[in-house]
Structure 1
Amino acid sequence: FGRFNYSFKDRYLLTFTLRNDGTSRFSPDNRWGLFPSVALAWKILDEPWMQNTNILSHLKLRLGYGVTGQQNIGQGNYPYLPIYTYSQINAQYQFDTTFFTTLRPEGYDANIKWEETTTYNIGLDYGFADDRFYGSLDFYYRKTEDLLNVIPVPAGTNLTNYILTNIGDLENKGVEFSITTRPIVKENLLWEVGFNATYNKNEITKLTATDDPDYLGVATGGISGGVGNTVQMHSVGYSASSYFVYEQVYDANGNPIEGMYVDRNGDGEITDDDRYHYKDPAADFYFGISSYLQYKNWNFSFAGRANFGNYVYNNVSSENGVYQRLYRPEGPYLGNATSDVTTINFVTPQYLSNYYIQDGSYFRMDNIKLSYLFDNIISDKVSLSISATVNNAFVITRYKGLDPEISGGIDNRIYPRPRVYVLGINLLF
C-alpha cells in the first residue's frame, strides 16, 4: 500500500494511491491484484479572482478515478483447487466381499481471479452564507468486470452443472446530492437540517465470453415452494436480479385469475418462453433526512431514510396465501395461511405470477431522540442528562408484507426488525 499527496499553493491538490492486495483464495498466478486510484481537487474559492465573492463560503471541484478488487466468492475458500468428495456408505464400490469408498471429483475453475470495479467520479463541494448552507454534488460511473458468479454450464464439461467463475460486466451510474442547512442560529436556539438524495441505475452489459444475443441469462433468486423455482434472472440489458415471471391476467374487477397468464409470444400456449423481465429489487432513488433542534437545555433530533422504485417478491404470500394451505392433510392440522388468502382467492400456489412482485418503496424513521440537560445539580461541575429514544420508530409503505426492506428482493420468513425504546440517564462531571 502506498500513497502520494501533493498540494500546490494550497489550491490544487493531488492524491495517488496504489494497493497490491493478495488472497489465498485464488491460484498463485492470479493471487495478487494491483489497484490504483487518483484524486484531483481544485479550491476554486481560493483563486484571486474569487476573493470578492460574498455569497459563497466554500467551493471545491473534485475528480476521481480508482480501481478496487473483490474476492467475496461465498463458496468455499479455495475454488481454484481440484476437490474430491468421499462417497457415502450406500454408494461404495464392492470388490469381492469388500466395499471400497470412492472419491468423486468436483467441478472447479483453476483460473478464477479478482473481480474488479473501476469508478469515475466528478464532484462539487459548496457552501453559502458562511456555511449556513453547505453540501456536495457528485456524478459517478462504475464498471465491474470479471464478475464472480455461480453460473450453469453444460453437464459433463467440468464435472458439474454449476460453477463459480468470472463472467460478465455490470455498470452503475448515478448522481448523489447532499445539503445541510442551519435555518436558525441564535444564542438559545439552534436548528440544523440535513438532506441527501441518490439516483442509481445498474445494468448488466456482458454475461458470456462472446456476444450471444440468444443467451437468456443466469437464473437466480431461489424461493420457497416447488423444486428449483427461481424468480430472478441476470440478463444482458437489464438490472441485476431482475424478476423473471409470468404476466398475470385479471378479471373485470381487477382480481387475479388463478393459473391464467398472458401469452406474450403468441404461440397459443403458456410455456417458459412467456416469462419476461419485470421490475427489479434495486431502488431508483434513495433519500435521507435528519434534523437537530436545540432550545436552551432541550435537544430533539431524528433521522430517517426512504427508497423509491424498489420491488419485492412476496414469497410468504405466494406460498401461504392460498386455500390449499388452510388444511394440511399430512397432520392433519390447520395451516398458517396469510390473511390475504380471501382477497387473492387462489386454491393452489402460483409462484411465478408477477402478482407477487409488489412495490417495496418506503420511508423509515430510524430514530427519534429527546433529551434534557440539568445543569449544576450538585455543583457547577456536575450535570445530569435524561433522554428518551425510539429506534425503528415507524415505516410508511404500500408493501403488503411484513417489511419492505429486503436484501436481495425476496421476502421469505425474514426476522422482523425490533422497535426499541431506550431511556437514558447520563451523569456528567
Structure 2
Amino acid sequence: MWLVANPKPKSVTVMGAGVTGVASAWYLSQAGFEVTVIDRQSLPAMETSFANGGQISVCHATPWANPATPKKALAWLAKPDAPLLYRLNANAEQWRFIWRFLRECTAKRADDNLKQMVNLGLYSRATFKALMDELPMNFEQRLQGIMHFYTSPDEYQAAVAPTQRMQTLGCHRTLITPATARTIEPALSVLGDALVGATHTDADFSANAHLFTNELAKHCQEHGVRFVYDTHIDRIGFDGTHITHLELSKNNHSFTHTSEHYVVCLASFGKRLLDPLGVHLPIFPAKGYSATYAVRDGKRVPQVSLIDDEYKLVMSRFSSEKRDVLRVAGTAEFNGYNTQLDQTRCQAITHRVQTLFGDALDYDEPNYWTGLRPMTPSNVPLIGRAYLGKIWHGQTATPNRKFDNLWLNTGHGTLGLTHSCGSAKALSLLMAGQTPPIDFAFIGA
C-alpha cells in the first residue's frame, strides 16, 4: 500500500495589514494557503483602517458617482468644509480620475454599480456575522442597526426612491417617521421639529475597524499566518506576467522575499507600486476625516449608528470597560496623497456635533484623524486576478495578459470594513480555483 504525502500548501504574500489585508490573510489561511503579511507599520490597521466611521453599512451605501453629484460638487468647490471637495491642481492623475468619475454619474451606470456594491455587501455582511459567531472577538461592535436621518424635506423625499430600490435588491431598509426615529434613537429628540424623517435598517451594524483588524490578526497568527512589520515594499520584481519577488527594506537594510502568489491590499498606495508592471488601477485617494469624543452623558449620546444626511457624517458609539466614545467621520477631500489635517474641516465636524449633542461630549481634546480611502470612479472594488493594462471591475483579460500569480483586493473606498470579509473570502475561493457564490464582476476572469 502506497502512502501519498499531503501536498505542501501554496505560499501567498499579502501586501498590506489593513482590514482588507488581514481579512484576506484569514480566509486564505482557512483555504489552506501558507500566508505571510507585509506592512510598513508596526501593527495592523494603522493607516486607512485606523479611525474610520466604523459602519458595516450595506443598505445605506450608494455610489458617490450618481447623476446628482456633479452639480453638488460644483457648488461645494468654494466651501473649504464641503462634504465632497476637489482641490483642483495640475495633477494629471487627479484629472483622469475626475473624468472617469463623471462618466460613472449617469443613471444607468450608477444603478449598475449599486447592484455590484449591494451584492458584495450582502455577501460580506453574512460572512462577517458568521466570523463573529465562529471566533471569540470583542471589537466594540453594536448590533442596533444603522439609521440615516434627514433635516431637509427635499432630501428626505429624494430618499424614497433609493430606499425602494434597495428593497428590491434585498436590503431590509425602511422609511420611518420622526416619532419612530426618536423611539429607536432617543438622542435624536434634540432635533425637535427639524427632524423630518429617517431610513433605518436593523441588519447593518457598527464596529471599531482598528480593533477588529487587530483581533483578527491575533487569530491569524494562531493559525500560522506570519506577519512582517516595519517593512517597506520598494518594488515588485516580475518577468512578463509572472511575479518573481518583492524587494523590501527595513532599518536601511534591503532584502528580497519570494512566494508563489501575491495579493495587493495596499489601499491608495497599490497603484504606484503596480504602475511599473503595466497594471494600471483606476484608484485615487479620497482624504477622509474623523473625530473621536469622550462621552460625558451616555443618555444623550446615540446608541444606534447614525448617518447625518445634511452634513454627510457617520456616527458610531464605541464602548468597552476602559472607555466610552463617539466616533464621527465623513467628508472626502481629493487632494492627492496629502495627509495633513485641515483644521477647518476638523472644526466643521466638531461644530455639527456640538449642535446636536451639546455638553454630552467632551470637546477639550478631540482625537482628530485623517486617512486616504482608495476610491475607484465607480465605487466598486477590484477583486480578482491582475492583468496588464487598465483595470476595471468585470473586465476580462486574454490569457497572455493575465498575471499567473498576482491578485488584487483593493479599491474599497469608504466601504473597506463593510466589504472586507466578503471580498477576502471571495478572493480565497478564486485563488483556490472555485467560483464565489455571488453575482459580482470579478476582474481578470
Could you say which structure has the greater relative contact order, defined with CA pairs below 8 angstroms and 6 or more residues apart?
2
User: Which has the larger strand fraction?
Assistant: 1
Rg bigger for which structure? 1
TM-score by length of 2: 0.19
